[in-house]
Chains A and B, each alone.
Chain A
Amino acid sequence: MKEQDFGYRKYVLGGIALVIVLLYIARLAVLQLASDEYAGSAKSNALFNNVLYPSRGLVYDRNGQLLVYNQPTYDIMVVTNEIEDLDTLDFCHTINITRKEFDKKMRSIRNLKGYSRYTQQVFSTQISGEEMAILQEKLFRYRGFYIRKRSMRKYEYSYGAHFLGDIGEVNQREIDHDEYYQSGDYIGKNGVERSYEADLRGEKGVEVLLRDSRGRVQGHYQNGEFDRKPKPGKDITLTIDSELQKLGERLMEGKAGAIVAIEPSTGEILCLVSSPTFDPRRMAGKERGRYHAELYEDLNRPLLNRAIQGVYPPGSTFKISQGLTFLQEGVITTSTPYPCSRGFRFKGMKVGCHGHGAPLPLIPAIATSCNGFFCWGLYHMLNDRSKYKTIQDAMTTWKDYMVSMGFGYKLGVDLPGEARGLIPNASYYDKNYKNDWNALSVISIAIGQGEVCLTPLQIANMGATVANRGYYITPHIVKEVKGGHIADSLTKKHYTKVKKEYYDDVALGMRRSVLGGTCKKANNHWYEVCGKTGTAQNKGHDHSAFMGFAPMNNPKIAVAVYVENGGWGATYGVPFGALIMEQYINGKLSPASEAQVQKFQARHILRPSAELKAIKERKDREAKAREEAKKARNDSLKQSKSVDAKAPKDLKATQPPKDSKDLKDSKDLKDSQDPKAVKDSKIPKDSKASKTVKESAESKVLQPTDSLLLDSLKQQQKPKQP
């Protein structure tokens, strides 16, 4: 009876079952068929790409001497989601950090781009083997922490910091630029580590691992089908002779400047000394950050690779290029004499010279480094209206010669950060002299002064060009990439615009300079040395320069020496050049030479950074005091004036003058916040200086020792159109 009453309810119940199942199937269709979002989530969930780091390529010198190699180091990794019951204090104690540092690290990890609670994040890098051993023992207590093996660069010697370079963690810009890199990877930051990064780094491998919800690895995905082995980096052999480099760095101890030696026939750089330098061994490991900061702060700027980044007036070494140009252009022949009465004197223009017989033709003029000769040569060239329609045409011709010799542009050395120097051209003068210039206004460029600036590498390359009698091969520092090849551009011959025969003439002049001229100290009985001194004037003490090559026929080495504030070219330049040649050609130094090296090594002309800092601080204080006094004066003046005039007046006092003629005349570029103070300080202190220092954002040095460097930096920043 009842059954009949409620029989219909079987349909209700059956209907409920049917609706539930259909609803669920629809839901499944949505989850499984409608989108593949879940498949992606599943992959990132369960697949763990374990990066396998390749060993970085080793670096050898030209004689097969190992310079840079790898040493295992360890990173501490953390998966924040897995941290459980961590005894923070004990952990901090184990890895030798404070609780504060720990908290700071955890915070910064959480703020990282791409942070995930489920994947390994770098907690701490470059833990030494011993520290790792202690941690490893206790690691089971620190859930969520892992150790990752990496390798660190080790340097055999303390030499060659600038060209060897270093590696450091990639920054965000580098990651964005090249998708190969991931946060925490290492990348070459300087030197060959940077320029040969692609060869040295090798190729990372990967293991696609299955990772369970607790981050534990449970085997290879698809039996390792997607795994890739890391490819080790390629070893590179440098062109550097480490003995020569060592000698160069010993000589330059306590001095600022550079020594560059090139094998002329190949363009291989035999040594590339930049001083002051630093210890590359301290640039690897945990200390790197602190050491780098310390070097960055150092007012002597040891991080600057002066050999390729320092731009200096080449001084008399530049005369070689002038002689060649004049010969090729027919301004002179080897027998054309020019007068020199203790210098070049014409229409009130005077370029001084030392006492020597006059008039002289080219070869003895090179030997005695006669200023008068080269000034007259350039004067005649620029004023030869039969050949050049305007002075601008003449200037452009001159510029083309210079450029063909490798000046004014980057030579293309395989190192990062090369400077291009400065070779002025006609439009440069048109602009700076407001079209009011003549041969006399620019005459000092003939003797490597004035606007002309070269890098020591360019000077050495000039020596190599003369050694080769008319061509050079791009100077380069890498001889061989094992299993790779070096760029074709590094082995290309570049001919200058001057014929070989003229090179023979200047080579003879350089030989005579060694035999009986300014480079007498470089003479020896083993081989024929050719050389040219340079004494570059600047606002401080003169820079001592030397350029030479040996032997005269079939040269093996070309050298450039540049010692800031070293005085005469013969004081440091010549003996340094001679020692470098002797070491390279003879393979060793004679006892007498060794004694000389020790003597030079002990002679320091560089002032310590702390001393420079004290001077700078004193000057800053003085400038501030003056500024305040001035302000006080202005204030008292203003008070007597009307309120309306106050505002614009105020503005004027704090803003640099827009059209400051006086500043431009002295070729003074300033972006300091306080132009008046700088101007004030300049006048009494640097009466001798024709140039003043630009206060760049990175450096605020007002110090003779460094002024040249900064000068050159200033010029680097200027538009250069040789």
Chain B
Amino acid sequence: MTEESNKGIFQSLDWLTIGIYLILIVWGWFSVCGASYDFNNPDILSWENRSGKQMVWLFCSVGLAVMLLMIEKQFYIGSSYYLYIMMMVLLALTIVIAPETKGSRSWIPIGPVKLQPAEFAKFAVALTLARYMDEHGFRMDNTRQFLHVVGLIMLPIAIIIGEKETGSALVYLSFFLVLYREGMTGAFLFVAFSFIVYFVVGIKFGEEFIPDMPVSVGEFSVLLLIQLFTIGMGYSYCPDKQAITIMAIVTLVATGLAFLFSAFVIPFNVCVIQVICLCLSFAFLIFLAFYERLLNYVWIGLFCVCSAGFYFGSNYLINNIMQPHQRIRIEVLLGTKEDPAGAGYNVNQAKIAIGSGGLEGKGFLKGTQTKLKYVPEQDTDFIFCTVGEEEGFIGSAGVLVMYLLFILRLLALAERQPDTMGRVYGYSVLCIFLFHLFINVGMVIGLTPVIGIPLPFFSYGGSSLWGFTILLFIFLRMDAERHVKDETRRGGG
């Protein structure tokens, strides 16, 4: 590509996104200053301090961003498969060559810095997906092709779990949101969502009982949810609404009568009736499948049975197989147990740090909780604490709003891509950011499990900063080529 066309590219760059990017990285840098403040060495620009190092990573990323904007989209797409293979090899190699740090083997030390390949593999996977799904004849409802895509996503997950870096591996699940946008049935997401709901409700209310009845609130609610979800799925995916209505009326009325009988006549465990209803529903759905010769009924029947199986299985797992400390972790997260000194320590300290910030915060470098290292990992995974403590509600809500703008802008950019490739890649970028934001901030404020993944642009660390920069700027370059690309394609075709 010539100088001139590069010039054109820079004119069609989305400067709004770049602006938000710059605001976020600078904001992040100030937060790292607060979080890594060292009382013995208060010079925030010193190389000895993390804030000094982060400054260097910051300038490197800006340089990296400029470089990435110079490279054509065609190059990225063309090399994507090779990049994917290289990255998978590198990830696998990491398990072998990386020294163990904090129980995982995911960091490769290169001179004074350590790199985390899992952060860099994201863009390779995103590019590969984009290219594969852009290929002629790709259809999401083609099971073989769909399984290929799933395999492309699951491979890095498997390797990274091998590195014992589960948090980073889970990030790759965000690609399923991309698949959803590209036409994957929402049922998959709904199943995943419903299983999480069973798990949370089942444990959170498992120990509570309905007054005067030998019925656990958790068990009753979960089984009722399974009944309702099964009926709901039946209405969404089956043509014979009448049959589903019959099933709904029979099971719900039976459950209701059982509940009333238990409440007013002889107390007994209503859940038995619910399980029988579920079994009947399953049998009825299988019958419908044969009767109407439609596979969807089988799927719904399986959903019904698997849901119940998952619920009872997870209960058994937690109560009989899990180690007590693991069980406590789950119970603390769901708020059924308090253990501020043990499993709940991180989250409790994080809440104290954020809560003590108040409306306006304590001021830059004036937070005591994060500075005095009450919050573990306070300049990496728990960096949001520092924002909350030093900048208060205004600052922390501001960060969230800024992220929302960023993500919605990426959404707009992805939607304006002329081809599947650009859109898939754009959505990949967006979903990765969204996943990080959801998990990271959620865990800090005690709403999601503690999964050690960084907050993009805020958490200290060169690898993650560069990884997100690469991810973003490749997309910005693609976006900038949206007109050019059309012409070349057209010209080529």
- A residues within 8 Å of B by Cβ? 2-3, 5-7, 9-10, 12-14, 16-18, 20-21, 23-25, 27-29, 31-33, 35-39, 41-43, 45-47, 117, 210-214, 218-219, 221
Contact = CB atoms under 8 A, between A and B. Distances in A.
A32 B438 contact: no
Contacts of A6: 181-183
Contacts of B368: 42, 45-47, 210, 221
Interface string B270-293: 000000000000000000000000
Interface stretch (B115-123, B440-448, B476-484): B440-448
Contact of A212 (B357, B372, B388, B434): B372
From DSSP, what is the main secondary structure of chain A's interface residues? helix
B252 interface: no
A476 to B, nearest CB: 51
Contacts of A2: 139-140, 182-183, 420
Contacts of B411: 10, 13-14, 17
A18 B434 CA distance: 10
Contacts of A16: 177, 434
Contacts of B371: 210, 218
B369 A42 contact: yes
B355 A31 contact: yes
A41 B356 contact: yes
A39 B400 contact: no
Interface string B384-412: 00001100110011001101100110010
Contacts of A213: 349, 372-374
B181 A9 contact: yes
Given A28-B445, A38-B355, A117 B341 contact: yes
Contacts of A218: 39, 371-372
A65 B261 CA distance: 94
A104 B389 CA distance: 41
Of all A-B residue pairs in the complex, the 4 with the closest CB atoms, nearest first, are: A38-B355, A42-B356, A46-B368, A212-B372
A10 B438 contact: no
Most buried by A among B356, B371, B401, B420: B356
B201 interface: no
A16 B176 CA distance: 14
Contacts of B355: 31-32, 35, 37-39, 41-42
B486 to A, nearest CB: 15
B401 A21 contact: yes
A5 B404 CA distance: 26
B68 interface: no
A21 B182 contact: no
B204 interface: no
Contacts of A9: 180-181
Contacts of A32: 354-355, 357-359, 388, 392-393, 396
> Which size bracket describes the interface of B in this complex?
35 or more
Interface string B346-360: 000101111111110
Nearest to B354: A31
B437 interface: yes
B415 interface: yes
Nearest to B178: A13
B441 A24 contact: yes
B373 A214 contact: yes
Contact of B372 (A13, A20, A210): A210
Given A10-B415, A42-B368, 16 more contacts: A2-B420, A6-B182, A13-B430, A14-B408, A16-B434, A17-B407, A20-B437, A24-B447, A32-B354, A32-B357, A32-B392, A33-B359, A33-B393, A39-B355, A41-B355, A42-B353
Most buried by B among A21, A25, A35, A39: A21
Contacts of A117: 341
Contacts of A28: 354, 388, 393, 396-397, 400, 445
A46 B404 contact: no
B183 A27 contact: no
Given A5-B183, A9-B180, A41 B437 contact: no
Contacts of A24: 400, 441-442, 445, 447
Contact of B369 (A17, A29, A31, A45): A45
Contacts of B180: 9, 12-13
Most buried by B among A5, A17, A23, A33: A17
A39 to B, nearest CB: 4
A218 B353 CA distance: 17
Contacts of A38: 351-352, 354-356
Contacts of A46: 368-369, 372, 374
A210 B369 CA distance: 10
A24 B384 CA distance: 12
A84 to B, nearest CB: 15
Contacts of B404: 17-18, 21
29 contacts: A2-B140, A2-B420, A3-B420, A10-B415, A12-B180, A13-B434, A16-B177, A16-B434, A17-B408, A17-B434, A18-B408, A23-B447, A25-B400, A28-B354, A28-B388, A28-B400, A31-B445, A32-B354, A32-B392, A32-B396, A38-B351, A38-B352, A38-B354, A42-B352, A42-B369, A43-B356, A213-B349, A214-B373, A218-B371
Contacts of A214: 373
Most buried by A among B359, B369, B372: B372
Contacts of B359: 32-33
Nearest to B180: A9
A10 B181 contact: yes
Contacts of A42: 352-353, 355-356, 368-369, 389
